[in-house]
Amino acid sequence: MADSQTAAPYTDFSAVMTGDKPFQLSGRPARYTVLYFYPKDNTPGCTTESIAFRDLHEQFQQAGTEIYGISRDSLRSHEGFKSKLGLPFELISDPEEAMCLQFGVMKMKNMYGKQVRGVERSTFVIDADGKLMKEWRGVKVPNHAEDVLEFVKSQP
């Protein structure tokens, strides 16, 4: 966990997201931004996590918080995933891993007995000045979205 007094702002970046909209880290009007990195669209854990954020979206909005999901999937894949799940927030496509590398979420993982490089499920809360407020790494999906919501609601 990092607090806002010591955490340096992230380097500003822009990316492409669903709805053909540009994402820019700076200049967001929200009090907080939740960036949740996940391995792959349409997989069981990523679907469950996205549904959890979807179901709490209105409460996040009431807490002045915007949510963005990020993976290396294409925009086309994201558009289908977003539509299939009825996600009310945008998904950011990071096929070149620029955001994944900036946030340090690329890890070697074991999959079916083989070492593969992939996204470690992680979530970051960033304030309106771009400062990291809290991070979760190696996220376990059950109750995670609730924990993130509890954190943003607990801020003064």
Torsion over CA of 39, 40, 43 and 44, rounded to 10 degrees? 30
Tokens representing residue 40 in the block:
């792959």
Catalytic: which of 46, 92, 139, 148?
A: 46
What residue has token string 């007094």?
A: 5
Neighbours of 104 (CB within 10 A): 12
What residue has token string 């993982």?
A: 109
Is-catalytic flag, 100?
no
Identify residue 27 by its one-letter amino acid code. Answer: G
What's the residue count for the chain?
A: 156
Catalytically active residues are 46
